[in-house]
Structure 1
Amino acid sequence: MRKRKYIVLIIYDVVDNKTRSRLVKCLERYGVRVQKSAFEALLTQAQCARLAHDSSRIIDESVDSLRIYTLDDILNIYTWGIGERKEQDCIIL
């Protein structure tokens, strides 16, 4: 039986260049860069959990931001993030 995979979108804003380079190398193990600060991947739930764990160990939570969006289907979107989230954020899919 195949494990279900989800489209995962990873968006980040990292202040330090060295930290950003380390994060990019980490994210490249999971997916492909689709924009300067955005990656896309096709992952199982376990892989997504490992991605969140690995990437959160790299960034500085006091100044950096990391968002992981797991797209299940049109109605079920799961998010995980580090850094301040502004209330006016709007997600359009």
Structure 2
Amino acid sequence: MKYLVAFDVCNSRRRREMVKLCLSTGFRVQKSVFESFMEHSQLERFEENAERIIDPETDSVRLYPIDSQADVGIRIVGIGHRIENPAYKVL
């Protein structure tokens, strides 16, 4: 399933760790916004890792599921491009 991952992390070290975690499952679409492809077990592991990285008193991570119908409706204004699931590459 595709997820939109957005985070607000105050500390630079924790922010770099969150970027690394997000890049392990997806692609950066804005500075702290990523489109990620994760199965349920990967999602649980992602959440566990994010909980270890952030400070719950000052930081937040949001994960929004994007189903296929919502994915088709994604619009981009300005720079950027559609992110396709790398597991299904058309040759």
Query: Structure 2 length normalisation: TM-score?
Result: 0.69
Partner of 1:54 in structure 2?
Answer: 49
| Contact 1:27/1:55 (<8 A) preserved | no
| Contact 1:22/1:58 (<8 A) preserved | yes
* Per-residue deviation, 1:72: 3.6
Give me the identity figure in percent.
36
Instruction: Give ranges in structure 2 of 5+ residues lacking alignment.
Output: 71-91
Partner of 1:21 in structure 2?
Answer: 16
Q: How many residue pairs were aligned?
A: 70
Normalized per residue, which structure has more strand? 1
CA distance in 1, matches of 2:6, 2:14: 15
Q: Establish whether residue 69 from structure 1 lines up as the match of residue 58 from structure 2.
A: no
CA distance in 2, matches of 1:56, 1:33: 20
Instruction: Give ranges in structure 1 of 5+ residues lacking alignment.
Output: 1-5, 76-93
Residue 33 of structure 2 aligns with an amino acid whose one-letter code is: A
Deviations 1:26-82 (A, max 9, x none): 11111111111101112111111111111111000000011011234559xxxxxxx
Secondary structure in 1 matching 2:19: helix
| Contact 2:22/2:36 (<8 A) preserved | no
Report the aligned-residue RMSD: 1.6
Partner of 1:30 in structure 2?
Answer: 25
By relative contact order (CA 8 Å, sep 6+), the higher-ranking structure is: 2
| Displacement over 4 Å in runs of 4+ | none
Query: Structure 1 length normalisation: TM-score?
Result: 0.68
Secondary structure in 1 matching 2:53: coil
